[in-house]
Amino acid sequence: MKLALDEAKLAYSKKEVPVGAVLVKDDEVISRSHNQSISKNDPSGHAEINVLRDAAKKIDNYRLNGASLFVTLEPCLMCFGACIHARIDRLIFATEDEKSGVVINNLNLQEESFFNHKISVSSGILATESSELLKKFFQERRN
C-alpha cells in the first residue's frame, strides 16, 4: 500500500485526484499507476483502470488471476467492474469513499451474489494518510 500511496502523491503533484494503485502477482509488482483522467482527458483514466490495462499487456492476458490490487481509495462502479472482469483475487483499499465507492459503501457490491467472480476485499491500511491527502487536494481545489 505504501507504493500505492507514493503513486497517489505523484498524482497530487500533477494536480490529479490523488489516487494510486499497484497490482501484485506472485509477490512481484506487475504495474503501478495513479489517476490520469485530467491530464489525459480520459474519464476512464482512474488509477485502477490504468494498472489493470498495463498489467494485462505485460502478461499478455486480460485475466489477472492470482493478482492483488492495492488502491488508496475504495473503487467506483467502473473500477470495481473492471476488477471483476480481470478476475483479480484480492482488492485491498486504504480509505472508504462514501460518495462514489461501491465496494462496501453505497451499493456494497462485495456482498452481491450475481457476479461470476468473487473478490476478497479488505481495507484500512494507510487509511489516514490516504484520506488526508484527498482532503488536502479537494480543500486546495475549493480555495
Per the annotation, binding residues for Zn(2+) are 46, 76, 79
8 Å CB contact between 90 and 120: yes
Distances (CA, A) of 101 to 83, 95, 114: 14, 10, 19
8 Å CB contact between 23 and 69: yes
Backbone angles phi, psi at 60, to 5 degrees: 60, 40
The one-letter code for the residue type at 102 is V
Q: Which of 7, 16, 48, 74 is catalytic?
A: 48
Annotated binding-site positions? 46, 76, 79
48 is catalytic: yes
The one-letter code for the residue type at 78 is M
Alpha helices in the chain (DSSP H): 2-13, 47-59, 77-86, 127-142
Strand 120-123 to 90-95 pairing: parallel
Catalytic residues: 48
